[in-house]
């Protein structure tokens, strides 16, 4: 069977695949600064016979690697590159940063990137041996954490001609689902005033900080009157220098999220009106710096069911005694009540029986159908231009918080390695199914058109906007 060729290649190259993931884990670079990771991945896949186009979509670390075996369908695999600020962590089951305050892979993107990177090469090997016609592409997607990479890739038309796209994300379960996510806008607000001595002549000062706080108060009053599932959160990045100087400049960074794109636009425009009101109260001026936006996911059950079927065909990995020893020690850092609430919130079947378990090693059918994740992902924008699914494999112990040092620790050792190899086999097998079973691909496309319901994708970012390369 053609899928066996891909799986055997992955088995034969286990150490090399793990080495790529571990090196990316070591680099741990934040969004749009993943220069070492991008170079590592692009050089490696180029040596595997792929044509590589670097620095695409105005992003120095983004690239697309393509290989063709003649006319046929095109399957795209997406891999992410970026780490998270402040989550530096050694591969040990207790808190110990590699370097205090440095970035770390607290979302497992070192695994995420290599799953697709090695998976697309495994597909190529199988396609060559079985003489399967078609094309495969690997998309190196930077800055997922700040929802930039895929939004710009889609806007620049780099997914045109892709018949289906697949992605994998480390998690705490083995499954593929049809849940959605929140659409989102990310933007900064710069307020400008006038300095003065805060005690000697405050009447001559115009406080930018006053405007920022007034705006924050307005937004917090707004929360009572927006839809329940919306999320608005912010941080104050600049609030002044010292108390005896009226601040002439202040800045906040906001996210607005909601289940549908038009709901985000409605709330976002309301926030802009609140900023104008703050100006009138504080006598300031302001500027909006729009960073990025994304859509909500259009799910695809055809792809989800196919992925789960491949998971069952391959068989989920089992964790050995060394993994369990690490997991037991790490579990001491996760309060039992937090773990229980995490399981309850997940709504996975039989969660009550998992409270005293370390891992969920089952392969689960879709249990998120019709649900909307509170988070956001730029995978969503891809799903509006081609049938798309992002699946999960068990990479962490139950209760592991997302974006945490515990996640980073497991992403850099044998627990994460097992998830990496399993997911690589799943993504390669699913891609090959789509190339060799055209009715499946046709069904995925039919479902995609049905979910679009006549709507068209309009980029959520202004057409003249460049990626925010200096956001950190």
pLDDT digits (tens, 9 = 90+) for 3-37: 999 999 999 999 999 999 999 999 999 999 999 99
- CA–CA dist 33, 152 (Å, integer): 16
pLDDT digits (tens, 9 = 90+) for 306-325: 999 999 999 999 999 999 99
pLDDT digits (tens, 9 = 90+) for 449-470: 999 999 999 999 988 899 988 7
CB 132 within 8 A of CB 436: yes
Which pLDDT does position 153 carry in this prediction?
A: 97
For domain 2-179+297-452, which architecture applies?
A: 3-Layer(aba) Sandwich (3.40)
Which pLDDT does position 262 carry in this prediction?
A: 95
Q: Quick one: what percent of the chain has pLDDT higher than 90?
A: 97
pLDDT digits (tens, 9 = 90+) for 60-84: 999 999 999 999 999 999 999 999 9
pLDDT over threshold 90, residue 399:
yes
Q: What is the mean pLDDT of residues 405-433?
A: 98
Residue 351 burial (CB count, 10 A): 17
- CA–CA dist 50, 54 (Å, integer): 12
CB 358 within 8 A of CB 415: no
Which pLDDT does position 322 carry in this prediction?
A: 97
Which pLDDT does position 471 carry in this prediction?
A: 66
pLDDT digits (tens, 9 = 90+) for 348-386: 999 999 999 999 999 999 999 989 998 999 999 999 999
HEC readout, the chain: CHHHHHHHHHHHCHHHHHHHHHHHHHHCCCCCCCHHHHHHHHHHHHHCCCEEEECHHHCCCCEEEEEECCCCCEEEEEEECCCECCCCCCCCCCCCCCCCCCCECCCCHHHHHHHHHHHHHHHHHHHHHHCCCCEEEEEEECCCCCCCHHHHHHHCCCCCCCCEEEEEEEECCEECCCCECCEEEEEEEEEECECCECCCCHHHCECHHHHHHHHHHHHHHHHHHCCCCCEEEEEEEECCCCCCECCCEEEEEEEEEECCHHHHHHHHHHHHHHHHHHHHHHCCEEEEEEEEEECCCCCCHHHHHHHHHHHHHHCCCCCCHHHHHHHHHHHCCCCHHHHHHHHHHHCCCCHHHHCCCCCCCCEECCCCCCCECCCCCCHHHHHCCCCEEEEEEECCCCCCCCCCHHHHHHHCCHHHHHHHHHHHHHHHHHHHHHHHCHHHHHHHHHHHHHHHCCCCCCCCCCCCCCCCCCCC
Which pLDDT does position 472 carry in this prediction?
A: 62
Q: Which residues of 318-336 are buried (b: 16+ CB within 10 A; e: fewer)?
A: ebeeebeebbeebbebbee
List, in sequence order, every residue forming a beta bridge with 194; answer none if it has no partner: 206
Residue 247 pLDDT level (bands cut at 50, 70, 90): very high
Quote the pTM value: 0.94
Domain range list for the chain:
2-179+297-452, 183-294
pLDDT digits (tens, 9 = 90+) for 222-242: 999 999 999 999 999 999 999
- CA–CA dist 181, 183 (Å, integer): 7
pLDDT digits (tens, 9 = 90+) for 122-163: 999 999 999 999 999 999 999 999 899 999 999 999 999 999
> What phi, psi does 376 have (nearest 5°)?
-135, 160
List, in sequence order, every residue forming a beta bridge with 166; answer none if it has no partner: 77, 389
Closest by CA to 426, choosing from 115, 162, 170, is 115
CB 436 within 8 A of CB 282: no
pLDDT over threshold 90, residue 335:
yes
| Residues constituting the chain | 472
Q: What is the mean pLDDT of residues 46-55?
A: 98
pLDDT digits (tens, 9 = 90+) for 160-195: 999 999 999 999 999 999 999 999 999 999 999 999
Closest by CA to 131, choosing from 70, 74, 65, is 70
Fold of the CATH domain 183-294? Alpha-Beta Plaits (3.30.70)
């Amino acid at each position: 069977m053609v899928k066996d060729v891909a799986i055997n290649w992955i088995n034969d190259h286990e150490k090399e695949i793990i080495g790529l993931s571990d090196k990316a884990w070591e680099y741990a670079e934040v969004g749009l600064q993943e220069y070492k990771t991008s170079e590592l991945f692009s050089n490696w896949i180029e040596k595997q016979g792929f044509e590589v186009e670097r620095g695409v979509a105005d992003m120095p670390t983004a690239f697309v690697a393509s290989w063709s075996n003649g006319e046929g369908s095109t399957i795209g695999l997406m891999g992410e590159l970026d780490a998270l600020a402040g989550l530096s962590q050694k591969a040990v089951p207790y808190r110990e940063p590699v370097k205090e305050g440095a970035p770390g892979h607290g979302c497992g993107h070192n695994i995420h990137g290599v799953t697709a990177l090695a998976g697309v090469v495994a597909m190529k090997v199988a396609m060559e041996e079985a003489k399967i016609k078609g094309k495969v592409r690997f998309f190196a997607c930077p800055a997922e954490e700040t929802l930039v990479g895929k939004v710009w890739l889609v806007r620049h038309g780099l997914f045109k001609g892709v018949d289906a796209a697949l992605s994998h994300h480390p998690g705490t379960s083995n499954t593929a689902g049809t849940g959605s996510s929140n659409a989102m806008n990310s933007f900064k607000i710069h307020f400008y005033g006038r300095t003065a001595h805060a005690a000697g002549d405050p009447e001559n000062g115009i406080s930018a900080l006053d405007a920022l706080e007034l705006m924050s108060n307005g937004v917090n009053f707004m929360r009572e009157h927006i839809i329940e599932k919306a999320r608005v959160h912010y941080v104050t990045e600049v609030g002044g220098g010292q108390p005896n100087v009226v601040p002439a400049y202040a800045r906040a960074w906001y996210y607005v999220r909601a289940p549908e794109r038009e709901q985000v636009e409605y709330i976002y425009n309301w926030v802009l009106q609140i900023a104008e009101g703050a100006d009138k109260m504080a006598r300031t001026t302001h500027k909006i710096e729009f960073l990025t936006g994304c859509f909500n996911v259009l799910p695809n059950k055809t792809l989800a069911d196919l992925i789960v079927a491949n998971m069952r065909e391959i068989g989920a990995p089992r964790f050995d005694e060394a993994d369990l020893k690490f997991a037991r020690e790490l579990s001491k850092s996760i309060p039992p009540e937090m773990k229980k609430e995490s399981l309850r919130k997940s709504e996975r079947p039989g969660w009550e029986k998992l409270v005293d378990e370390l891992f969920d090693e089952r392969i689960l059918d879709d249990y998120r159908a019709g649900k909307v994740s509170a988070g956001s992902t730029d995978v969503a924008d891809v799903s509006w231009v081609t049938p798309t699914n992002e699946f999960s494999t068990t990479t962490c112990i139950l209760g592991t918080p997302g974006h945490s040092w515990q996640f980073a620790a497991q992403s850099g050792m044998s627990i994460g390695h097992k998830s990496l190899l399993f997911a690589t086999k799943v993504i390669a097998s699913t891609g090959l199914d789509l190339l060799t079973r055209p009715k499946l691909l046709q069904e995925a496309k039919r479902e995609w058109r049905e979910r679009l319901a006549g709507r068209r994708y309009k980029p959520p970012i202004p057409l003249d906007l460049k990626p925010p390369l200096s956001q950190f």
